[in-house]
Structure 1
Amino acid sequence: MGELIGRGDECRILDRLVDATRAGQSRALVLRGEPGVGKTALLDHLAERAVPGRVARTSGVQAEMELAYAGVHQLCLPFLDHLDRLPAPQRGALGTALGMTEGPAPDRFLVGLAVLNLFSDAASEEPLLCLIDDEQWLDRASAQVLAFVARRLGAESVALVFAARQPTDALAGLPSLVVRGLHGPDARALLDTVLTAPLDDRVRDQIVAETRGNPLALLEVPRAMTPEELAGGFGLPGAVGLSGDLESTFRSRVDVLSEHTRLLLLLAAAEPTGDPALMWRAAERLRIPPDAAAAAVEADLASFSTRVRFRHPLVRSAAYRSGSVHDRKRVHRALAEVTDGERDSDRRAWHLAHAASGPDEDIAVELERSAHRAQRRGGVGAAAAFLERAAALTIDRTKRVDRALAAASAKVEAGAFDVALDLLATTESDRLTDFQEAQADLVRARIAFVTNHGSDAPPLLLKAARRLESIDTNLCRATYIDAITAAMFAGRLSVGADSDEIARAAEQAPRPTGAPRLHDELLDWLIAFFTRDYTAAVPHLRRALAAVDSGVPADGQRRWAWLTTVAAIRGWDDERWHELSARYLDLVRGAGALSDTPLALNTHAFIMLFTGELTTAATLIDEQASVQEAIRSRIAPYAALGLAAMRGDRDTAVALSRTTVAEVTARGEGNGISVAMWATALLHNGFGDFRSALTAAREAIEPPVGLSSANWAFTELVEAAARLGEYEEADAALTQFVEISRASRTDWARGLEARCRALLSDNDVAETLYREAVDLLGRTRIRTDAARAHLLYGEWLRRQRRRGDAREQLRLAHDLFTAMGMRAFAERAGRELQAAGHTLPTKAPTAVGPKLTAQEEQVARLARDGLSNPEIGARLFISARTVQYHLSKVFTKLEINSRSQLEQVLP
């Protein structure tokens, strides 16, 4: 390949990318530009420059956009001999996605992690360059997986370079290089390379101007001009009718070919795999002679060798569009007949669908089967496309609606909300059954919940649940749980049905006929809570928690894991909270359900905060941030806010609180306001700013009841109000909390009740209550509340002038707060100690060593805890080679030489 005219700057950028991969680094780049501007030529330059090294290429094809993982399969095919080296969950996910093995639908991000490690392993032998052309036409699953890989590259000697006219949203934020038309001198130089006759200067200038320096246009336009036009006759340049539509230029070149050659090009355009044997078998059925290819090759439109290739994607598009509707159906029918129905049944069904002249139930059934296979591989976008086409080919009204609703549901899962609503609209002219109406309502509710997280979803879910009452009791009760949960999320920002209304409706719904299952017990708990009170709900809550251990299948446990953890929190059961949140995290990690991982990490991080294990919580929060960055999740920073409040990091906590309130308000998630205000109250109580704490706590407990944080805020309000002398308000909040404490009867709740009562009591009664609080909270995991009981007791003792006893309690509190990293509370305890006559030791200066980066510290801590490199990579969504790279830097900075020494050097 010769030097590209006018592309010196672009080639230098690409050359540096190749040099970086040879040096052990990784890179990602998006080439962006209009059709024909030279993106493919730059990819060709990269492929040539990468030698020696491995190059893998794939290209998006419009006809394959609905076939899940088609692009990933083509790119990974040369490296499948490395598949056995992947960790089992990743190996299973990728094998299932590519249709090589059977299994549950894999999480798309786990597939991405598998591809990342597959590329990393292949690059351990020599640098790997992956080139993806026409990314805008990749199937959705492949686009998302490859974008995931591009974002997680580190030190693997791998480069991913995409080329696209308009990159899809999946590539947003990746480094990009805009490829523009050639400048005047370079454009003229390129034009001169294809001229076969003299060219009038005015015509040359017009061609350059009207093509805007587009290289493909510069090469193609002269082919469409006669020597007289090129010479500038007939009053040129004004008479030269140059078209900016390159596809039309190619189409005009296709149209002048013989009928057999045009039909062969149409056939090749409709067969996206480029398999010449398959194409010629179909050509034989269409009676296209072998010599029909010669004219297409001579016209420089396509080549037919080891693989069928078009000169440019625009040629493929022109060849397909130039065919009549009748010829397109003939071509797809021939391709369907020669496609192996066993090994490639999905592509065969797709060809049959395009060949159909009208409704065809047999083809619709085939498409349904393809949709089910796609769903098993995790290709929800492909499943939706198959079902949408199946609905279009169905004449039976009931079946058509069923397929359209199934397609709409799949479109929601794929994130195509507008298309889902369009599909629902196609069913509105039909008379739907109650079950179909309920399905439509569920689809609309899912769209509302995902896009607005609560505000519109509860009434839609309530409507669906009511329709399901006489149809499917199990689905009805599960839908009522979803409706109540959505209303709880919406909380004070709800604009439709609230939790109380939904719970009353659920109470009237049919009961399960057999033994109650886990979700039945959860629903009974929610009904009792919202229709009666906390005390009435506690027996149901305990039965729900007991049901978790009664042989519930793993998928059922994962489906309800978050809600069962919330039940433990609402029951003030710290042991079950710890156990169930850890189980929840294990379940999603074990299943590779990366989409559920941020919520699971957030849930487990909170119990770590309350138990005072702030370093562990910080590790989980960092991991959550890595996951959210990798999968572009949008959970508000609840645990990070709680951590900043516990640590007494005022600036961070205040900033996160503002961010959280703005974010959740925008999407209608009122419960998030309660979380933010609880954390703000906790922060200010730590600093002894009781007026600010009281203001925040009041807002936190504003009805309707939140999921959990409103409960926590009662005790913050009592402390702040009592210290300000607002005894009436403190007593009212305590009365509400007493109902919780007396019903739950846990040491945690009873200890907090005693602590709050002590704040509102005098003399011997107060001391008895403080001692009770210290004793009860000392039996729990909740060290933060236990330390605060010692602090409040010590502060009370100092005010009673019992300085010796006060110092004992305050020293205990100070030591606990210091060990946990609760700086604001530690300083508050320190001030009280000094007031009680105790001098705190001066801190020895801390040795300052080389600072680890955030990711180095994450890797180091996980390695210290005994995780292997592949396990660390799976947690942080990086390759095992990048883990090793970070560890080598950690060892150098900390001046150690083994993982076993990390325990000594990390705090």
Structure 2
Amino acid sequence: MTGPTLTARDDALAALERDLGRPGPGFALVSGPEGVGKTALAEAVAARHDGPVLRAVAAPWETGRAHGVLCQLLPGLDPEPACLADHVARSGKPVLAIVDDAQWTDQESVRVLASTVRHHPGVALRVLATARTGDPRVPAGAVDLLHRCATTRIALHPFTAPEVGELAAACGVLLHPSMAERLWRHTGGIARHVVELLAEVPKATWARFDPDLPAPAAVAARVGTALEGCGPAARRLAGAAAVLGPGTAVRDVALLAGVEDGLLDVLDEAAGAGLVVLGPHGLTEIGPADPMVRAAVLAAMGPAAAAALHREAAELIEDPVRRTRLLVAASPVPDQAVADRLDELATERAAEGAWAVAASLLTDASRLTEDRLSRESRLTRAVDALIGAGDAFAAAALIPEVESLRETPLRNAVLGYLAIVRGRATEAETRLARAWDLVNAGREPDVAALIAQRYVLHALSRCHAGELLEWADRALSLTEANAPAAVEAAAIRGLGLASEGRAAEAAAGYAELSERVRHGAQVQRVMMARGWLNLMVDAVDDARADLGGSVPTTVHGGSARISLWASAWLARAQFLSGEWDDAVRTVREATVLLDRTGIVLAGPLLQWTAVAVHALRDEPEPAAEAMRRADAGPQDYEIMRVPAHLARAHLAEARADSAGVVRALRPLTQSWASGVADSSLWPWGDMYAHALVLEGRYAEADAFLTQHERVAAGRDSAAERARLAAARGRLLGTQGELGRARDRFDESLALLENLPLRYDQARVGFAYGQILRRAGKRREADAVFTTARETFAALGAVTYVARCDRELKAGGVHAPRADRGIAELTPQEEAVSELVARGLSNREVAAELFVSAKTVQYHLTRIYAKLGIRSRAELAARKAR
């Protein structure tokens, strides 16, 4: 295999070219499972090799033939290292010898190749051997010998799910991430099987939701041969294992297969043929060897026999979901009884919040339903459950089918829901409005409650607290308190209360809700919302606990959408408390989930924290990548736009670009006036005010702060009041009112003293130090800067560490004045000269050092005079020496 199978192998190819391209001989070993792409990699190396290429393929029946592989490489050559070395030397160019399936190579050939490499350092022989791992037929000593001979070892592993998606794209088939993951699980990530299936399966299959994937033709042929070679009992055992699936008790498989006597012998026979494998607990569990073998065995049985065996299996299984799915597999035509049972089970699982299971059950129920209206309703509910589970890509795969159905309130509500998670506010508004217009709440209260709950999520994403509360109350009035729509509406309702300054009422509501909802996936929703509230009221430690507990979806089941919200706010809590490495890790892990599910709504919220950390740590490339991701896709919703603006402000502030901060945050002033950019949730007001002061826009800063201080006074957030107090202190200090400025900075630090907000504490200290230094209080400023610097250094905020160092140097408190010559620069002049030499304008230097542009020009004139230079270019050249 060549071409597409080299996808995601760039690192391995580069390593081989680097190691085999060194002067002298080399022996590289590429190992990995069958079909993983070893041969393709070797051929890629050969295609780039400038010199003769020798090839040999070892075979198991020739392992005992002395020098058999060497004879393939160079027929008629005397099999001695010296002779091989002499032959290579005569070629005049490096010789590449490729030995494929080297695990079967005869030991004599391996020894000659290895001895030539080891004992003839002046000869450019590059051996590249590929060896299969995981084959029980291969003698252990053969692979061990290759490893001992190799000077370079590269292990190829099966592809990951994203790499399978890349491989499919290289083959001309675009897979959405959930389908790529399905193909990855089916093939085990083995490149050969992926490529074969992509070529053999009709392309339309890949756009469907949850298709049954067959075995590749080569696997099917191998399994057919294995079945023919087995006795009747082993064939029945393989068939029973395929029907019941992995992880089934051996007792149940044997009972279904009708194997009573000699079970262990039959197990040995089926396992030896590669048809079944034992589970992780030894002889207690059994299953098909892999999903492809399972598909091949079922196909070999034929539809009638497979259906009959599925019906027999359903009688043995107690789990209702598993039993019903066996009946589905045995039902080639609509079956109303089975469909109704699937619907009942789906309703039960949805009530528990297990949306992924509900989606699968409803899809099966739709297929087995003959009545058109019921069939369409079940399919629509399946899409809704998929979105609830957080798989927007899989849901989108069913959208063409759903849009072709007759218009109903439920259909529009589901399409609106999908539009929300994909960040399309205008479409969502249209769909939901149409759904509400069509629904009759008296006849369909559950559907009406569902629409209302979707409106709650829509209002949350628009940051419209009033609308959120209105629709939440409507949803709660339409359905039972423990229904999924009611629980989620109640959970989100608390966030609306907090945004309107009613945090205590919200906390009481969460306490009652937590008592009532203690089990199942709905717990995830309550914990996430409560953690979000805790973050708004400065209970950062409690927020971390709740949000961290609601990130996983595997303990109680749950939704990837909720997990993404939880991850975004958890990262924010970790950022505020100074756990920046954890914050970056949280974002990185959640980004994988976001890419897999297609829930773009949470993207900017996640990347906001990543941008902040990378910008403050002066990591421009990761910061730019996070910013690119924050800006990607539609941003119709405020919950997407606001964090994107904040991320851009962080980038500008890290560069001491106060004008850039103002530009980034200016749109939020309009949003705040309409109640959207709530400063208790989005800490932007102080950033904007500081930037206005640094830009010299004092009257504007005063008016802005007055408005925000009035609102913050009625809030439960001490952090919000502290941030605004520091901004007010900067404004007062800049205007020469040092006493009042001290009071506001001291107030700010006192409010933060008992909060774990390390970054905020350091940031307030830095601003305080700048005011003190500007007022001539250099020793006080020195102490404040030193404390702030220690915190910034612990966080890794190197941008602020450098600023603190410049401020400390400019203050000159510790500078040895007696040692200065008359022509030397003062600390302040030195700070100015360093920034000017880096290319900053006078205005930018002024903002960085918190002085006026006129002061910078004054210092610059003195610097030119002292150093005997006349331009910024000369200053930069002098500094570069």
- Indicate which of 740, 760, 775 corresponds to 1:785: 760
Distance 1:499 1:804, change over 3 A: closer
Mapped partners of 2:481, 2:685: distance in 1: 37
Contact 1:638 1:676 in 2 (8 A): yes
Query: Which residue of structure 1 aligns with residue 500 of structure 2?
Result: 534
Q: How does 1:769-808 map to 2 (within 5 A)?
A: 769-808=744-783
In the TM superposition, what is the alpha-carbon distance from 1:618 to its structure 2 partner?
A: 3.0
Q: How does 1:714-753 map to 2 (within 5 A)?
A: 714-753=685-724
For residues 680-699 of structure 1, what are the alpha-carbon distances to aligned partners after superposition, in whole Å with 9 as ceiling and x for unaligned? 32333344321112111213
Mapped partners of 1:568, 1:442: distance in 2: 31
Query: Which residue of structure 2 aligns with residue 444 of structure 1?
Result: 415
Residue 646 in structure 1 maps to residue 616 in structure 2: yes
- Indicate which of 569, 573, 578 corresponds to 1:603: 569
For residues 471-522 of structure 1, what are the alpha-carbon distances to aligned partners after superposition, in whole Å with 9 as ceiling and x for unaligned? 687886675454243344357xxxxxx7655655556666489989875654
Q: How does 1:84-233 map to 2 (within 5 A)?
A: 144-145=181-182, 147=184, 163-166=196-199
Q: Which moved more, 1:341-350 or 1:709-718?
A: 341-350
- What amino acid is the match of 2:636? G
In the TM superposition, what is the alpha-carbon distance from 1:809 to its structure 2 partner?
A: 0.9
Q: 3-state SS of the aligned residue for 2:196?
A: strand
Q: 3-state SS of the aligned residue for 2:682?
A: helix
Contact 2:5 2:192 in 1 (8 A): no
Contact 1:454 1:669 in 2 (8 A): yes
Q: 3-state SS of the aligned residue for 1:564?
A: helix
- Indicate which of 624, 627, 633 corresponds to 1:657: 627
- What amino acid is the match of 1:144? E
Contact 1:758 1:765 in 2 (8 A): yes
- What amino acid is the match of 2:371? T
Query: Which residue of structure 2 aligns with residue 814 of structure 1?
Result: 789
Mapped partners of 2:524, 2:244: distance in 1: 43
Paired-residue identity, %:
18
Q: Which moved more, 1:825-834 or 1:728-737?
A: 728-737
Q: Which moved more, 1:482-491 or 1:799-808?
A: 482-491
Query: Which residue of structure 2 aligns with residue 830 of structure 1?
Result: 805
Distance 1:654 1:23, change over 3 A: closer
- Indicate which of 643, 650, 666 corresponds to 1:698: 666
Query: Which residue of structure 1 aligns with residue 533 of structure 2?
Result: 567
In the TM superposition, what is the alpha-carbon distance from 1:394 to its structure 2 partner?
A: 2.9
Distance 1:355 1:455, change over 3 A: closer
- Indicate which of 406, 421, 434 corresponds to 1:428: 406
Contact 1:545 1:568 in 2 (8 A): no
Mapped partners of 2:772, 2:454: distance in 1: 49
Contact 1:621 1:640 in 2 (8 A): yes
Query: Which residue of structure 1 aligns with residue 367 of structure 2?
Result: 389
Distance 1:649 1:569, change over 3 A: same
Mapped partners of 2:344, 2:491: distance in 1: 35
Contact 1:691 1:720 in 2 (8 A): yes
Contact 1:790 1:813 in 2 (8 A): yes
Q: What root-mean-square deviation, in Å, do the aligned CA atoms of Structure 1 and Structure 2 show?
A: 6.1
In the TM superposition, what is the alpha-carbon distance from 1:786 to its structure 2 partner?
A: 0.9
Distance 1:422 1:808, change over 3 A: closer
Mapped partners of 1:11, 1:791: distance in 2: 54
Mapped partners of 1:472, 1:386: distance in 2: 24
- Indicate which of 543, 551, 556 corresponds to 2:522: 556
Query: Which residue of structure 1 aligns with residue 461 of structure 2?
Result: 489
Q: 3-state SS of the aligned residue for 1:163?
A: helix
Contact 1:445 1:461 in 2 (8 A): yes
Mapped partners of 2:745, 2:6: distance in 1: 73
Contact 2:550 2:563 in 1 (8 A): no
Distance 1:816 1:352, change over 3 A: closer
For residues 125-179 of structure 1, what are the alpha-carbon distances to aligned partners after superposition, in whole Å with 9 as ceiling and x for unaligned? 999999999x99x9x99973561697989xxxx997663144779999xxxxxxx
Q: 3-state SS of the aligned residue for 2:684?
A: helix
- Indicate which of 486, 505, 508 corresponds to 1:543: 508
- What amino acid is the match of 1:486? H
Contact 1:424 1:440 in 2 (8 A): yes
Mapped partners of 2:554, 2:324: distance in 1: 31
Q: 3-state SS of the aligned residue for 2:776?
A: coil
Distance 1:716 1:409, change over 3 A: closer
- What amino acid is the match of 1:394? D
In the TM superposition, what is the alpha-carbon distance from 1:365 to its structure 2 partner?
A: 3.6
Mapped partners of 1:121, 1:806: distance in 2: 70
For residues 848-884 of structure 1, what are the alpha-carbon distances to aligned partners after superposition, in whole Å with 9 as ceiling and x for unaligned? xxxxxxxxxxxxxxxxxxxxxxxxxxxxxxxxxxxxx
Mapped partners of 1:280, 1:163: distance in 2: 32
For residues 410-448 of structure 1, what are the alpha-carbon distances to aligned partners after superposition, in whole Å with 9 as ceiling and x for unaligned? 56666454664455457528xxxxxxx443233222332
In the TM superposition, what is the alpha-carbon distance from 1:801 to its structure 2 partner?
A: 0.9
For residues 181-232 of structure 1, what are the alpha-carbon distances to aligned partners after superposition, in whole Å with 9 as ceiling and x for unaligned? xxxxxxxxxxxxxxxxxxxxxxxxxxxxxxxxx99xxxxxxxxxxxxxxxxx
Distance 1:278 1:822, change over 3 A: closer
Distance 1:365 1:674, change over 3 A: closer
- What amino acid is the match of 2:575? L
Contact 2:424 2:636 in 1 (8 A): yes
How many residue pairs are counted as aligned between the two chains? 592
- What amino acid is the match of 1:829? C
In the TM superposition, what is the alpha-carbon distance from 1:457 to its structure 2 partner?
A: 2.1
Q: Which moved more, 1:666-675 or 1:609-618?
A: 666-675
Mapped partners of 1:707, 1:49: distance in 2: 75
Contact 2:456 2:472 in 1 (8 A): no
Contact 1:807 1:836 in 2 (8 A): yes
Q: TM-score, normalised by structure 1?
A: 0.52
Mapped partners of 2:507, 2:137: distance in 1: 53
Contact 2:722 2:749 in 1 (8 A): yes
Distance 1:159 1:611, change over 3 A: farther
In the TM superposition, what is the alpha-carbon distance from 1:25 to its structure 2 partner?
A: 5.0
In the TM superposition, what is the alpha-carbon distance from 1:622 to its structure 2 partner?
A: 4.0
Distance 1:338 1:445, change over 3 A: same
Mapped partners of 2:643, 2:812: distance in 1: 38
In the TM superposition, what is the alpha-carbon distance from 1:26 to its structure 2 partner?
A: 6.0
For residues 709-730 of structure 1, what are the alpha-carbon distances to aligned partners after superposition, in whole Å with 9 as ceiling and x for unaligned? 9731111001111122212322
Contact 1:754 1:770 in 2 (8 A): yes
Distance 1:347 1:625, change over 3 A: closer
For residues 302-342 of structure 1, what are the alpha-carbon distances to aligned partners after superposition, in whole Å with 9 as ceiling and x for unaligned? xxxx99xx9xx99x99999xxxxxxx9x9999788877654
Distance 1:708 1:780, change over 3 A: same
Q: 3-state SS of the aligned residue for 1:711?
A: coil
Distance 1:332 1:367, change over 3 A: farther
Mapped partners of 2:778, 2:666: distance in 1: 34
For residues 734-772 of structure 1, what are the alpha-carbon distances to aligned partners after superposition, in whole Å with 9 as ceiling and x for unaligned? 234324421223332232232122123223111111111
- What amino acid is the match of 1:683? L
Mapped partners of 1:526, 1:377: distance in 2: 23
Q: TM-score, normalised by structure 2?
A: 0.54
Query: Which residue of structure 1 aligns with residue 81 of structure 2?
Result: none
Q: Which moved more, 1:474-483 or 1:692-701?
A: 474-483
Q: 3-state SS of the aligned residue for 1:744?
A: coil
- What amino acid is the match of 2:658? F
- What amino acid is the match of 1:828? R
Mapped partners of 2:512, 2:59: distance in 1: 59
